[in-house]
Structure 1
Amino acid sequence: MTLEILHIDDDLVVVNKPSGLLVHRTDLAKHEQDAVVQRLNEQLGRWVFPVHRLDRATSGVLVMALNETVARKLGEQFMARTTGKHYLAIVRGHTADQGTIDYPLAKLNEEKGRSRFKIEGTEKEAVSHFQTLETFEIPVPVSRYNQMRLSLVSVQPEHGRTHQIRRHFKHVFHPLLGDTRYGCRHHNQAMRGHWSEDLRLMLHAKQLSFTHPITQMRMSIDAPVPDDMLQLIESLRQQTCN
């Protein structure tokens, strides 16, 4: 399946990554043959260089360099935090109108057969800003409640720590809907029964801004929200109790 290209020039390509697709093959997924890098290599007939990553279940804007020099310069922008990143997420509960989550994140032990735990001394600064766009309250029983509360939020992470948005919203007790690692199993189970068994992580990288390494022009690229997320949002609007 070909990837949706949002922008392409002689130096870089920006795609709308679908949920469920790896950015590139890793040691943790050696058996996987399908990934964005491999698809683009075939689609463009040339090698591409990953610059940043999105979680497998996350959809949205992803930029790849078309040569090593551009890859290095783009990578420097991500490291220096001069890029702008805007995500959309659906989370449990009603969030504040706006806020900042300032919570350092440590590496997690991921050994098979052992419970996940923080590795002490590996904490790194992590800040995420958010604005609540809409709130929903639908007649779906969950846990001890007769109704389910959800919020649609826009998130701007200052850093790019692993699973930053997912871990930050878990930290403030508003885990992302469909998150099987950090989410609320009661909400996920209830929504799968009410909405779809195919419910996935409701996180979309909506916009990415960066400076083109060659032209020095500031670019801002948006990725259309996937149909499944749009359909869920519209369903939540229709069911919200007045």
Structure 2
Amino acid sequence: MNQTSNTIACEHREDVLKKQVEHQPLHLPVLYQDEHIIAIDKPPGLLVHRSPIDKHETVFAVQTLRDQIGQHVFPAHRLDRPTSGVLVFSFSADTAAKLGKQMMDKQVVKQYHAIVRGFVHHTGYIDYALKYRYDKIADKHKRPQQPPQPASTMYESLAKFDVPEPVGRYQSARYSLVRLSPSTGRKHQLRRHMVHIRHPIIGDTTHGDGKQNKFAKSHFNFTHLALSCTQMGFSHPVTQKWITINGEMHSEMRQFTDRLASFKV
């Protein structure tokens, strides 16, 4: 076999392997499970359930988890499609409703990690009402005129990084790893609150900094939203015991922070 034939054969094998990987069923890591609830680590880019926003999508957390464990599940809350991390389901609609009420009553403690633009030097509190952002498809049945909704977020700076490369009007690419604790759950709250204090989350294509996103992609191969729900605590809706479920930043975020480590200041 000549070199050209070898090359073609190798490319064919790579295409076959790629298709095999693409068609492999998605496995969702289980963080906690008992007879009433189950929590998974949702990867970025996965929709929780079917949505009119993307009618062509065929993979959803609800159906994937149901097929994985062989049992129907009911989402107790939501995570935006690009956000990863702790996602809780129940095995009955009643239990899901009880968890949902806890969230409405601000009795659930949530913690996120994010990588943002610029140096965040301290711990702070954002109290900034957010006007509801309507989606023409998903929100077509909602009342269009609503007053801004109260929204609050605690933030804490964990690490700062300075990459000596110019980005846009900045002489270097500065980043901060922050911990975010929202006490309300408004649409895109964390992303919009961080933009409000001029520290947009890296990878946010809706509210963020396009030049910073492009730099993170080209220099660090970072292509997702740098936002992960890493902890959730709540009163178990059946046993009434306090449950704390821990997760991690998604793998691409961990790789990003690992590569930033040498630029820590």
TM-score range, shorter chain: over 0.9
Q: 2:121 aligns with which of 96, 100, 104?
A: 96
User: How many Å apart are 1:179 and its aligned residue?
Assistant: 0.5
Q: 1:124 aligns with which of 149, 156, 161?
A: 149
**Residue 28 of structure 1: SS of its match in structure 2?**
coil
Gapped regions of structure 1 (runs ≥ 5):
113-118
Contact kept, 8 Å, 1:140 with 1:190, in 2: the verdict is no
**Residue 24 of structure 1: SS of its match in structure 2?**
coil
**Greater share of helix residues, 1 or 2?**
2
User: How many Å apart are 1:68 and its aligned residue?
Assistant: 1.5
Distance 2:135 2:92 in 1: 33
Contact kept, 8 Å, 1:207 with 1:221, in 2: the verdict is yes
The question of 1:201 aligning with 2:236 is answered: no
Contact kept, 8 Å, 1:210 with 1:218, in 2: the verdict is yes
Distance verdict in 2 for CA 1:120–1:92, change over 3 Å? farther
Distance 1:31 1:73 in 2: 32
Q: 2:203 aligns with which of 178, 186, 206?
A: 178
Letter paired with 1:107: Y
User: How many Å apart are 1:65 and its aligned residue?
Assistant: 0.8
Letter paired with 1:96: H
Q: Show CA shifts across 1:183-204 (max 9, x none).
A: 00111111212111x5211000
Contact kept, 8 Å, 1:106 with 1:120, in 2: the verdict is no
In structure 1, the residue matched to 2:104 is 79
User: How many Å apart are 1:122 and its aligned residue?
Assistant: 3.0
The question of 1:213 aligning with 2:264 is answered: no
Distance 1:157 1:209 in 2: 13
**Residue 259 of structure 2: SS of its match in structure 1?**
helix
Q: Show CA shifts across 1:33-76 (max 9, x none).
A: 11100101111112111111011111100100101221111111
Distance 1:223 1:42 in 2: 22
Distance 1:121 1:226 in 2: 35
State TM-score, norm by structure 2. Answer: 0.85
Distance 1:79 1:110 in 2: 22
Distance 1:199 1:239 in 2: 20
Q: Which has the larger radius of gyration?
A: 2
Distance 1:2 1:109 in 2: 32
User: How many Å apart are 1:227 and its aligned residue?
Assistant: 2.1
Identity of aligned residues (%): 39
User: How many Å apart are 1:159 and its aligned residue?
Assistant: 0.5
Contact kept, 8 Å, 2:112 with 2:180, in 1: the verdict is yes
The question of 1:13 aligning with 2:41 is answered: no
**Residue 29 of structure 1: SS of its match in structure 2?**
coil
Distance 1:162 1:169 in 2: 13
In structure 1, the residue matched to 2:89 is 64
Letter paired with 1:158: S
User: How many Å apart are 1:144 and its aligned residue?
Assistant: 2.3
Which portions of structure 1, spanning 4 or more consecutive aligned residues, are displaced by more than 4 angstroms? none
In structure 1, the residue matched to 2:179 is 154
User: How many Å apart are 1:132 and its aligned residue?
Assistant: 0.3
The question of 1:169 aligning with 2:179 is answered: no
Instruction: Answer with 43-52 or 83-92: which moved more.
Output: 43-52
Distance 1:226 1:79 in 2: 27
